[in-house]
Amino acid sequence: MPALKGSLTYARFFVEGELPDDFRERFMKSVRLRAMRPLEPDGEELERSGWAKIGEPFVVDLSYDDVFFNEYVVLGFRTDRWAIPGPMLRKRMKEAEAAYLEKKGRERLSKKEKAELKDLVSKKLRRQIDPSTRAMDLSWSIGEGVVRFFSHAEKPAAAMMELFKKTFGLTLIPESPYTAAARLGLDKEQEKVWNELEMTYLGTESRLVIEDAAEEEE
């Protein structure tokens, strides 16, 4: 989801850790090191993530001005994945199996042979198609210590957090009522009240009655 156009919906993360004095130079080198690299058809990786220019996921040769905007770090988080359509793979596998069995004069493949043949067929198909690409934008307000990631999906967020840690050496903490309260700073009395809070189940009365009855039967 883009940050530069469309609806502005994002997830917030708090940055945990201290910035080095020369963080701009260090971060620039580290971002370039982990910029997106295309997947190779004959490679073992089926999925790969890396940094790209914000709003332009296919620009991966990043300059200083691409990454730093005033007091912000702005990046695109891009993920490429090989996604061969199932019907295509099954059709090519059937053809490859028939040709292999005819050549060997046999009626069945071993489990190992079938796995090896599938790997060969998959790599051949990858040379004929492009991997699917998904990109989401990221904005890090250095002064606030807050990252805005323009996606609410859990899997991309987890992958982004991992790459962020490898790139910057800093940990991202997802925003929640607890982390927000901790950042605001609670005095001792407020902290005591906070720690004594109990979870409230937001369910319908009928559902609670059914669950209570089930517990009594047990």
28 and 70 in a single domain? The answer is yes
C-alpha gyration radius of the chain:
25
**Helix or strand (DSSP H, E) at 141:** strand 132-141
92 and 166 in a single domain? The answer is no
> Which residues lie closer than 8 Å to 186 by C-beta, 6 or more apart?
194
pLDDT tens-digit profile, the chain (218 residues): 565 555 568 899 999 999 999 999 999 999 999 999 999 999 989 999 999 999 999 999 999 999 999 999 999 999 999 999 999 999 999 999 999 899 888 889 999 999 999 999 999 999 999 999 999 999 999 999 999 999 989 999 999 999 999 999 999 999 865 555 555 555 566 556 656 656 555 554 444 343 444 444 44
Pairing mode, strands 146-149 and 132-141: antiparallel
100 and 156 in a single domain? The answer is no
171 and 73 in a single domain? The answer is yes
Residue 200: give the domain boundaries: 189-217
98 and 206 in a single domain? The answer is no
Classify residue 40: in a domain, yes or no.
yes
99 and 201 in a single domain? The answer is no
46 and 105 in a single domain? The answer is no
Domain count, the chain: 3
70 and 143 in a single domain? The answer is yes
136 and 212 in a single domain? The answer is no
pTM score of the predicted model: 0.75
Classify residue 140: in a domain, yes or no.
yes
Pairing mode, strands 68-69 and 72-81: antiparallel
Determine the pLDDT at residue 2: 60
108 and 170 in a single domain? The answer is no
